[in-house]
Amino acid sequence: MSAHGTPIPMISHPSGPLSGAAEVPGDKSISHRALILGAMCVGETVITGLLEGEDVLDTAKAMRAFGAEVTRDDDGTWHVYGVGVGGFAEPEQVIDCGNSGTGVRLIMGAMATQPVTACFTGDASLNSRPMARVTDPLALFGARAVGRAGGRLPMVIEGARAPVPVRYEVPVPSAQVKSAVLLAGLNAPGQTVVIEREATRDHTERMLEGFGAEISVESTDAGRVITLTGQPELTPQTIAVPRDPSSAAFPVCAALITPGSDVLVPGIGLNPTRAGLFTTLREMGADLTYEDEREEGGEPVADLRARFSPDMKGIEVPPERAASMIDEYPILSVVAANARGETVMRGVKELRVKESDRIEAMALGLRANGVEVEDGPDWWIVKGCGAGHVAGGATVQTFLDHRIAMSFLCLGMAAKAPVRLDDGAPVATSFPVFEPLMAALGADIRRS
Ligand SMILES: O=C(O)C1=C[C@@H](OP(=O)(O)O)[C@@H](O)[C@H](O)C1
Ligand SMILES: C=C(OP(=O)(O)O)C(=O)O
């Protein structure tokens, strides 16, 4: 079930062909950041295309609790009237970030160098995820965190009264940790330096620059070195949020595996720190083309066209590509099940600490539906059945994880027998229009 609702069992019937255009919603990562940075400058930031999924709506609520005014026009335009760097008010209530790791970790970073104390919580999934990866570096700024055993939520963060800047090498490939440190660095005097060995999504760096912060990124032998000068005067922005490549992955992959399909997914950001799945699919032999390649708001964008691809082959996904497709491994494994041969995915330990243990959740559900999977601590292998040969017919657990839910709904479209979910409600966290959008393409998904 979602943070806010009751379980919604769903069933996905073999269907198709899928055809038409799929206009997926705004990018989740960019939406969180637009609200948070909007709240950290004085004046009005205007956001169009904001993702109105539960995760982002929870961040909007949190920004109100810290004193920003956040409003929505009937046409879906959002306005954030921010309080400035260092201007957060102390929330009167517990901040509930629902299912969102990005929301809670970035907000903790943003408030950690401000003289306020806040208590954070989430749903059962979020409350089981590791937070020490964020609170450890925040302690270097002078913030104090008290949470449950193992650094879990609920957790109280007391912001540093006299923050100091830090130099921090991120020990895990995580854009959330990097971003939390950078957002904390905003209200620390002097220069905060973040070093990441492997490049992760760079939306925070890009957006900080857009809001007028002094930030530089240098590629060195040690990795990317990001230097941010604290206590800037940020300038409110007008932000058009691009469509989310992680959401686009679902109609694209569903089309590749469902007989006769031909689907266009327009206006998808192909920022190289996000587009690893599409490269992988093309290497597997997917009929996936980029049409009308262009630049929008400084980001490469294209319309993706995906057609049924019965001859895809399993490949070894390069581990160094993992960060650029970290949220896409569940749906990749569904494509892999419909390809021939093995798809080998290594260097993906981070999948075990997402909304669910995604390797375990996918392995359980794929096996139940007739697909062989092997897995180890930081790797897994899916043994493809070939197009049209996945048995289906089982009910899978989604473990409060939207990507697991949507991946198995896509599996059902191309399987021999329907695939059932114990709970499809988590879909609303990142892709609230998934059901009508897929239905319009020709998918047969029902609430049961
Ligand atoms: O910074 C972000 O917006 C995100 C970073 C990734 O998490 P990690 O930083 O934990 O890898 C990703 O899985 C998540 O969906 C969004
Ligand atoms: C991992 C994800 O999100 P978060 O960490 O923000 O909960 C995701 O959207 O796949």
Q: Could you read off the pLDDT of 162-192 as tens digits, one per residue?
A: 999 999 999 999 999 999 999 999 999 999 9
Q: What is the pLDDT of residues 347-397, one digit of tens each?
A: 999 999 999 999 999 999 999 999 999 999 999 999 999 999 999 999 999
Joined together, the tokens standing for residue 119 give 């208590």
CATH architecture of 28-240: Alpha-beta prism (3.65)
Q: Which of 188, 163, 66 is nearest to 118 (CA)?
A: 66
Percent of all residues in the chain with a pLDDT value above 70, rounded to a whole number: 99
243 labeled binding residue:
no
27 labeled binding residue:
no
Mean pLDDT of 325-342: 99
The answer, yes or no, to whether any atom of ligand 2 lies below 6 A from the CB of 29, is no
**b/e 119-132 (16+ beta carbons within 10 angstroms → b):** bbbbbebbbbbebe
How high does pLDDT run on average in the chain? 97
Confidence of residue 2 (pLDDT cuts 50, 70, 90): very low
pLDDT computed for residue 142 by the predictor = 98
Q: In what order do the strands lie in the sheet with 444-447?
A: 395-396, 419-421, 10-13, 444-447
Asked if residue 131 has pLDDT above 80, the reply is: yes
The CATH fold of domain 10-26+242-447: UDP-n-acetylglucosamine1-carboxyvinyl-transferase; Chain (3.65.10)
What's the gap in Å between 354 CA and the centre of ligand 2? 6
pLDDT computed for residue 277 by the predictor = 98
Nearest CA to ligand 1 atom 11: 174
Mean pLDDT of 119-125: 98
What's the gap in Å between 272 CA and the centre of ligand 1? 15
The crossing angle, in degrees rounded to 10, of helices 175-185 and 101-111 is 20
Asked if residue 4 has pLDDT above 80, the reply is: no
Q: Is-contact 37 215, C-beta < 8 A?
A: no
Could you tell me where the beta strands, DSSP code E, fall in 236-320? 238-240, 262-269, 287-296, 299-307, 316-317
pLDDT computed for residue 337 by the predictor = 99
The answer, yes or no, to whether any atom of ligand 2 lies below 6 A from the CB of 101, is yes
Q: How do the domains of the chain map onto residue ranges?
A: 10-26+242-447, 28-240
**b/e 239-256 (16+ beta carbons within 10 angstroms → b):** bebbbbbbbbbbbbbbbb
* CB atoms inside a 10 Å sphere around CB 270: 18
Mean pLDDT of 71-98: 98
Confidence of residue 16 (pLDDT cuts 50, 70, 90): confident
Nearest CA to ligand 2 atom 5: 101
What's the gap in Å between 101 CA and the centre of ligand 2? 6
3-state helix, strand and coil shares in percent for the chain, rounded to the nearest 5: 35, 30, 40
Mean pLDDT of 104-130: 98
Whether 327 is catalytic: yes
Confidence of residue 5 (pLDDT cuts 50, 70, 90): confident
Q: How many CA atoms lie within 13 A of 39 on its CB side?
A: 25
Phi-psi region of 386 (alpha: psi -120 to 50; beta: other; left: phi over 0): left
pLDDT computed for residue 1 by the predictor = 41
Of the chain, the end-to-end C-alpha distance in Å amounts to 14
Q: Which ligand is nearest to the CA of 201?
A: 1
pLDDT computed for residue 220 by the predictor = 97
Query: Is 10-26+242-447's fold the same as 28-240's?
Result: yes
Confidence (pTM): 0.98
Q: Which ligand is nearest to the CA of 355?
A: 2
Q: Which ligand is nearest to the CA of 106?
A: 1
